[in-house]
Chains A and B, each alone.
Chain A
Amino acid sequence: MSSATADAGHGHHDQGFIKKYLWSTDHKVIGFQYLFTGMFMALIGGFTVYVFRMQLAFPGMSVPGFGRVTAHDYNSLVTTHGSVMIFWVAMPVLIAALGNYLIPLMIGCDDMVFPRINRLSYQLFLVSSLVLITSFFVDGGAFGGAWTAYPPLSAKAAYNLTPHGAPLWLVAVALEFVAFLLGGINFITTVMNSRAPGMKMFDVPIVVWMIVIASIVFMASVGPLVAGAVMLLFDQTVGTGFFDPSRGGDPVLWQHLFWFFGHPEVYVVLLPAMGIVAEIITVFSRKKLFAYKTVLYTAIGTGVLSFFVWAHHQFVAGIDPRMANIFSVTTLLISIPVAEMVFVYIATLYGGSIRLTTPMLWALAFIGEFLIGGVTGIFLGASGSDIYFHDTYFVVAHFHYTFFPIAFIGSFAAITYWFPKMFGKMLNETWGKVHFWGTIIAFNFIFIPLFLTGARGDHRRIYDYTHFPDLMKAGMQEMRVLATLALVVLLAFQVVFLVNFFYSLVKGKKAEQNPWKANTLEWVAASPPPHGNFPELPTVYRGPYEYSHPEAKDDYWPQNQPPQTA
């Protein structure tokens, strides 16, 4: 991947495979490491959901590729699916992979400010993934106490029956946090200090801003949970009683520590996805981003507010009911900045010249689908209706309508958009669109039925509904089967993506330097950029979204183009 052209400040040698791809300090290689690890973990997450959805649709059947699903397996699969998709797919792909790849390129410098800490960050992440995978194979099996790991269930092997799986899960999560703390500090410092000359605060592309805000929110919220993880690990392995009520501890404390991080975490992954969408819709509608500063302020507002809403996950969890009123108010208020952000994006489309390329389709689908996730959140943030909806499939469908657009639609948008830059080849458009429509249609067929079963009282993490007569009424099981079949279709369509991805990687059409005619600095570098990124580090003259500017001769105006050439 390194056609060595000019090289700014780096001694460049021909390196061996290991040095170049596994021990590299180049931000682009580290970005790829995160990307491919995330894609691999997504396969695990996809496989687990396939197995447990099959069990739900056809209880007791021998699932092809897995066998009979026991209740123990079921809990482990659900837990693994949740943890993997959030911590090992959404976080590494959206923040770490894209942050690493894009930040130095988009702000016009040659690397991250701490390349070796960056490498360490990935290595810790890799270790955390391996620890998690190891936990599937230890005695007692993988942890099955849900991704929220509420004690006392998670604290005592006598309760969860996974004496090794539970501590390993916890260690994996804690290591993952440390990896992202290191990565986050790198991102924040790089963007603050190493922008190209001339690039002022409001000339930074939105996606970079979003990754930085997300990193700050992550860093500020994860601390208490790191502390909580240490305490829970002691409860599991040494026998302390931090969360054990019979020994003076309090299980509710963990819930608070968890959600103090857990809710901001939603925005940690949402914001980068929003940033990706901002980049793509501006390019493919040839429009300036509507109200750049407003987008920024709403993102910051969302980040700040996200620290005041966490207990809405605990309305009926035994917290004092008076506190629920406060958290209900703050929760609903957070809809304001998010709604504004969505409206800004819709307004950006107005008066544009829209081309529905694959990345644009993904970006638009993000807005359309995320809207559903957003509005259904109101039902859960309002304390009164949450009494009924809490821990039903309505919640499951709601957060999949937020997390699927974030983790997958956002990632697909990013991968299809930056693929030419990353690998120097073009993805096949036709197969890209086939993959898009297959995924989007199947996705809706999974979760609209689940909204309905949830509204009828289906609760989560149940391995066999036949024990509940009210949940086996006419039409309920059909819905579950429909969702499962749609899931299988969705998974099948991912094969199209993988084939397209790897085929284009090798045999795709060669990409130009700036195939989408975009303004931001990464398109100034060669495709793919060499070690050191730019032949000559760029200087910035304007904001990132000057499309169709009346004074520019083209309908785009790259950030690094000096004004006199216009």
Chain B
Amino acid sequence: MISHYLEQASTFARDIDNLILLITLTVGFWFLLAQFLFFGFILKFRAQDGKKAQYISGENKWEKRWVSLPHYATLFFDVLIIIAAIRVWQDVKMTLPQADSTVRVIAQQWAWTFVHPGPDNKLDTADDIRTVDELHVEVNKTYHFELQSRDVLHSFSVPVFRLKQDVIPGRTIKGWFKPTMTGGFDVQCTEICGIGHGIMAARVLIENAADHAAWVKANAPQVAAATPADNVPTGGSR
């Protein structure tokens, strides 16, 4: 349903979309049923001259089924949705599969700094590649990300990955994603962070192995290079 509008660019995007579809179908059925009864009753029981309304207290056993039936039905479908939702949640937020690489995402008012591990595939070394508002990743590789903030709350959101995680100053929050298609997509800040919140945009550029290697090669600082151009000390607010 969502995929009709927006690419599924990560492994768990499909799971989340399917969960949304499941919820749509289950609650959609009950929604339509309720609206059908609702409008049906309004049409059927319009006031007519000389016809008195029925006197129904809703307290006897048979009438109580009006309440108990939706009660158990809602409970049943709730359980169904809960199980499906928690399975997805477990996968996206509670497990960290073995990573091929780790990127550090540093948010600040109102820009994103992405620290890529560089040729040695290790963070906090001299060959780290720092970029502003541009995240470069390789397709079909599992990435861990470390979120840090320099000032206020931000939120790291990549709609095509169906991924969202708030960034909290003072904390490091870890998560993962695995891109499944190449291309350039929006990264958004989705937690209000001040005046520039509306322009705090970035792009995630998913490249195939060759392009990504070329990009790393072209951008890796020569070892012991000067301070990066954006003049940001390593490790965010540490």
Contact = CB atoms under 8 A, between A and B. Distances in A.
B interface residue count range (under 10 / 10 to 19 / 20 to 34 / 35 or more): 35 or more
Contact of B93 (A287, A332, A344, A387): A387
B16 A388 contact: yes
A144 B195 CA distance: 8
A555 B82 contact: no
B92 A384 contact: yes
B160 interface: yes
A387 B163 contact: yes
Interface string A432-473: 000000000000000000000001110111111001111100
Given A352-B53, A388-B159, A75 B165 contact: no
B45 A290 contact: no
Given A344-B67, A378-B23, A384-B87, A161 B163 contact: no
Interface string A330-356: 001101100110111011111111111
B99 interface: no
A75 B168 contact: no
Interface string A100-134: 00000000000000000000000000000000000
A346 B58 contact: no
A332 B78 contact: yes
A251 interface: yes
Given A343-B67, A383-B86, A371 B41 contact: no
Contact of B94 (A321, A349, A382): A321
Nearest to B197: A461
B16 A387 contact: yes
Interface stretch (B147-155, B210-218, B222-230): B147-155
Contact of A353 (B5, B51, B89, B188): B51
A325 B86 contact: yes
Contact of B192 (A150, A349, A471): A150
B188 A468 contact: yes
A462 B199 CA distance: 8
A146 B52 CA distance: 52
A563 interface: no
Interface centre among A318, A336, A387, A547 (most CB of B within 10 A): A387
A274 interface: no
Contacts of B53: 285-287, 351-353, 547-548, 555
B19 interface: yes
A455 B198 contact: no
A319 to B, nearest CB: 9
B88 A290 contact: no
A383 B45 contact: no
Interface in B155-170: 155, 157, 159-160, 162-170
A318 B165 contact: yes
B209 interface: no
Interface centre among B71, B85, B199 (most CB of A within 10 A): B85
A291 interface: yes
Interface in A538-552: 547-550
Given A251-B169, A457-B186, A464 B198 contact: yes
Contact of B168 (A289, A318, A390, A550): A318
B153 to A, nearest CB: 5
B27 interface: yes
A163 interface: no
Given A287-B53, A367-B38, A336 B74 contact: yes
B157 A288 contact: no
A190 to B, nearest CB: 28
Contacts of A74: 198
Contacts of A379: 20, 23-24
Given A344-B58, A353-B51, A549-B55, A387 B67 contact: no
A288 B56 contact: yes
Given A285-B53, A329-B82, A460-B190, A387 B164 contact: yes
5 contacts: A71-B197, A316-B155, A328-B86, A388-B164, A456-B5
Interface of A: 71-72, 74-75, 144-146, 150-153, 159-161, 245-246, 250-252, 285-294, 316-318, 321-322, 324-325, 328-329, 332-333, 335-336, 339-340, 342-344, 346-356, 364, 367-368, 371-372, 375, 378-379, 382-385, 387-388, 390-392, 455-457, 459-464, 467-471, 547-550, 555
